[in-house]
Amino acid sequence: MDPKLLRVAQSGSVNALYSLLQKDPCILQNVDVLPFIHTPLHEASSTGKIDLAMELMILKPSFAKKLNEDGLTPLHLAVENHQAELALELVKFDPSLVRIRGRGGMTPLHLVAKEGDVELLTEFILVCPESITDATLNGETALHIAVISDRYEELKVLRGWMQRMRKGDASTTEIQVLNKRDRKGNTALHLAAYNNNHQNKRGMTALDALRANGPQMNTETESIIKTSGGKSGMSLSRVNTTSVFLSKPVTFREYCSTGMARYRSRMSDGTRNSLLVITALIITATYQTAAQPQDTDQFEKLSVEQIILEIVLLWGFNSMAFFLAIALTFILLPIGRAYTWWYIFITAPLICSYAISVYLKYNMTILFVMYVMVAFGFLIYVLVFYVKWKRTTRKKVPKPRIELISQGLETMV
């Protein structure tokens, strides 16, 4: 790089840059001609000169994707030198920078998983979700690197993100990333099992550190700390950032809502509209069946078998079709709180009207039997979802292809 341009990059002065351009308008173009070079944007990114870096991004966007002689982009250098604010500005300008491969196939996402910064890692996967599938030349994803580098919090964020993805192919992506094997044939779960990773003592307060001494704890010191307002780490209030949210285990409610969102995403608009028409017809037909008047004299002449067939089976299945059609319509609705509440306000009176219509035809005992059947079917459906959710919370480690020694992760041939 031209020494004059290097001095401008080190100073971080935007005015000095334009003064240099007035004297030599081709100076940036001369730098861009070379395939591998330490550009002014590399220098500004590594030293945290945000104003100059963003000005260079406007003048020469190609600098952001250029590798220097060490095989690193400006974003790589920003992460490596812990310039988080500048790194965020770069990815806001161009989210695809997160996926650029540098030396060894290492992307900025891999590097932040190695260096450790949960907030920056969260921002990277938010602006570029596809980057979670990228792997290095050794076949290592960001999950592999987080495990190898003992970045427990970063690993929890990546895992929580994959479980909460709502795109149509989210399930496939999750399985693909979790089962991705490196060159030695090991998944991230293998490495986690060998390392026996557990959360360390980071985040301990003075009271936590004192109580860690067990019976040897000085009770007078504990009293002084508590009197002075000292608290344990568990009792401290924490800022509910996105990274904290992603680090938490997926609840059953989140699992169900994510499953519905993924189902919607996999469906085309034409298919959704067709299904909405079908569910509307089913709701109309089943409701009209319930609204038809019942001949009481004819009902009294029916035998026990006919009563079971007509009331329990006919009305039980009719009610199941009615409620399932309403449930499917709810799933097919566009995502949004306003849609949800309007749907509830509309369907709640409709369901009450249906139940009252059936009640006016028959006595309470028969009505109770019918709705026990409906409730039983609904519970079975919920139970299936619950079992699937519990299976996702289990820590399963597939059998490795190559056995590893716990100490040092050395391969055994």
Q: How do the pLDDT tens digits run along the chain, 413 residues long?
A: 778 888 888 888 889 989 888 888 888 888 888 889 899 999 999 988 999 999 999 999 999 999 999 999 999 999 999 999 999 999 999 999 999 999 999 999 999 999 888 889 989 988 988 888 899 998 889 988 988 888 888 888 888 888 777 676 677 777 778 778 888 877 776 676 565 443 444 455 545 655 666 666 656 555 644 554 455 655 554 545 666 655 667 777 777 777 777 777 777 778 888 888 898 899 888 888 877 766 555 555 556 676 666 666 677 778 888 888 888 888 887 766 677 788 888 888 888 888 788 777 765 566 666 667 667 777 887 787 677 777 766 544 445 444 433 333 333 33
State the pTM of this model: 0.61
Where exactly does CATH 1.25.40.20 map onto the chain? Answer: 3-161
Q: What is the pLDDT of residues 250-263, one digit of tens each?
A: 777 777 777 777 77
CATH homologous superfamily of 3-161 equals Ankyrin repeat-containing domain (1.25.40.20)
3-state secondary structure the chain: CCHHHHHHHHHCCHHHHHHHHHHCCCHHHHHHHCCECCCHHHHHHHHCCHHHHHHHHHHCHHHHHCECCCCCCHHHHHHHCCCHHHHHHHHHHCHHHHHCCCHHHCCHHHHHHHHCCHHHHHHHHHHCHHHHHCCCCCCCCHHHHHHHCCCHHHHHHHHHHHHHCCCCCHHHHHHHHHCCCCCCCCCHHHHHHHHCCCCCCCCCCHHHHHHCCHHHCCHHHHHHHHHCCCCCHHHCCCCCCHHHHHHCCCCHHHHHHHHHHHHHHCCCHHHHHHHHHHHHHHHHHHHHHHHCCCCHHHHHCCCHHHHHHHHHHHHHHHHHHHHHHHHHHHHHCCCCHHHHHHHHHHHHHHHHHHHHHHHHHCCHHHHHHHHHHHHHHHHHHHHHHHHHHHHHHCCCCCCCCCCECCCCCCECC
